[in-house]
Homo-oligomer: A and B are copies of this chain.
Amino acid sequence: MAFTIYLSGEIHTNWRDQIKQGITESQLDITILSPVTDHDSSDNVGTTVLGVEQDNFWKDHKSAKINALRTNNYISRSDIVIIKFGDKYKQWNAAYDAGLANGLGIPTIIMHNQDLTHPLKEVDAAAQAVVETPEQVVEILKYIMQ
């Protein structure tokens, strides 16, 4: 049975590549979906395509809505949403994706270091698994797809 997973969260480390590599090596029949991970492109798509804004709020607004056409669609098509939290940036969009997935009835796997356990307790409590490394994600996928 093929699976579709969505990789949400942190975009400045290579955790997505590590999961992709593990999936390829394990020859798992998984479609891997991600947000646009080019930071500048993601921030500017609204004004680039729809015209400049003087107010940064509307610049962000237009970009975020276009990005949501992709991210919400991908999340709603996924069997599992996997979300990585790191120690940089606010990452509220990652926590938003966790809430959205659970609101849609889609299970989550949350990845983060132990020092983030307390602030992520509500997100973790709604997840099916909490992991620290991409290898653990791959191990879970290998197990459930055996």
Contacts and interface: CB of A to CB of B under 8 A. Distances in A.
Given A1-B74, A49-B140, A93 B122 contact: yes
Interface residues of A, number: 77
B60 A121 contact: yes
A69 B65 contact: no
B95 A62 contact: no
Interface in A66-108: 66-74, 77, 79-80, 85, 89-105, 107
Interface of A: 1, 3, 31, 33, 36, 41, 45, 48-50, 53-58, 60-74, 77, 79-80, 85, 89-105, 107, 109, 114, 116-126, 128-131, 136, 139-140, 143-146
14 contacts: A49-B129, A49-B131, A49-B136, A50-B131, A54-B54, A61-B124, A63-B121, A64-B124, A67-B122, A68-B128, A69-B107, A69-B140, A93-B123, A98-B99
Given A94-B95, A98-B99, A101-B103, 8 more contacts: A1-B77, A57-B130, A66-B144, A69-B144, A93-B123, A96-B96, A96-B126, A100-B102
